[in-house]
Structure 1
């Protein structure tokens, strides 16, 4: 009778990717840095806020989670390391030998990474918002999780951060280079939209609202942002960007030799 003790199953691939992610020192350092940046900036914004000052017109959730703008870079780099890092070390050969169908490796990486980033970012965002409110409770920025749009914005912030990180993961898998992936993310995701805003065309301005960083901003605000996409549209746009990035990576993974 043939046994399948060592058969490749989705659960085993997921478990393998989970162990690979959390046994790397870079994972702990990058994840901790992302959380510390959000919490540190949030506490600073709360402690230094003055009612009626220049920040009085900023959305409460955006103000408390301002550090997310920095943490997204940390988590994007981590996403690139998850995929391109294996090519840099040569470990990808062992992974693809163990899972000859290849694509389950990418989807397992994406699933484990997405679950990790969302859990980490949501926990950090909740702690940061509540901690910042200790300083903001007697100001015009006082808010609670039960206020309209607040929890939705915090969850949207975490979902947006997760999807942007998945875009970076897909770039790392497609380019198979850590410097190349980081350059593509910073240039393509963060800088290009800012350059396009200089073009005097209304259609360009409308399209830019659905670019990753702009859609991310719309998701993380408790109140509607002028000229921004609606939260549902922003979430759909980010899902499509992440899907396109991972889909391209999956196609290239199947077509290339290694």
Structure 2
């Protein structure tokens, strides 16, 4: 007498668990995340320790403390690209898509896992960096407390912006399927193109540049910003566009 074997069912929870397992077992993931956290903390402490009264008085306090975000943007962008394009370079993507033939749940799960990890780590790092930096800024014009207006919102906004930026890079990696190409597009979009466009003498271009990812992230990081909601919406739209393009490519092209 033979016993029927219950087929293995692919469920969203199982795909999510699989992507979490892949991400947490890669040494490069934790090296990148820890390095990002340490650089942000060290940069915040270093800049604050070297601060002289009057220098940079015009700069927002949270932006000053979180200057390490510049390094975090690159590190987390590369991590997001590697999480998708890296699988294409190693050939592991074939096994992944064979296990999940509908494909799209893999993309959503990667985005959910990496976005959540990035947000939690960034927020934790920010909450450590700010009081450490303030121990050096006591008595200066940048003296502030976590309970001051806009500070917690800015620290949280920075973490949310970095998480969205990481997922945006993940989408670019899935779209390009090449680590070098996706990295070039990411750096061009986030760092180079806004600076080039800002040189053009047109008001409409200036307005558009303010909604590019790096400028939106800076707005989210500022405690005195009155347009953080608009900046968060802009970041969300960039990330959604990246994931939508990646999803369309994933459905239409062979692995």
- TM-score if structure 1 supplies the norm length? 0.95
Change (3 A) 1:257 1:131: same
Q: Distance in 2 between matches of 1:211 and 1:3?
A: 53
* Aligned counterparts of 1:233 and 1:128: Cα–Cα separation in 2: 26
Aligned twin of 1:192: 193
d(CA) in 1 for partners of 2:215, 2:57: 21
1:77-92 alignment, distance < 5 Å: 77-92=78-93
Deviation at 1:188, TM superposition (A): 2.1
1:230-241 alignment, distance < 5 Å:
230-241=227-238
* 1:141, distance to aligned residue in structure 2 (A): 1.1
Q: Name structure 1 gaps, 5 residues minimum.
A: none
Counterparts of 1:14-163 in structure 2, within 5 Å, are: 14-52=16-54, 54-163=55-164
Per the alignment, do residues 60 and 4 of structure 1 end up closer, same or farther by CA in structure 2, a change over 3 Å counting?
farther
Runs of 4+ in 1 over 4 A off after TM superposition: 1-5
Cα distance in 2 for partners of 1:26, 1:153 equals 29
For the residues of structure 2 that align with 1:212 and 1:233, how far apart are their CA atoms? Answer: 12
Cα distance between partner residues in 2 of 1:3 and 1:135 = 65
Matched length: 253
Q: Give the RMSD, CA atoms, in angstroms.
A: 1.3
Q: CA deviation at 1:4?
A: 4.8
Q: 1:100-139: CA deviations, max 9, x gaps?
A: 1000000000000000000010000110001111111222
1:39 and 1:5 map into 2 onto residues whose CA distance is 49
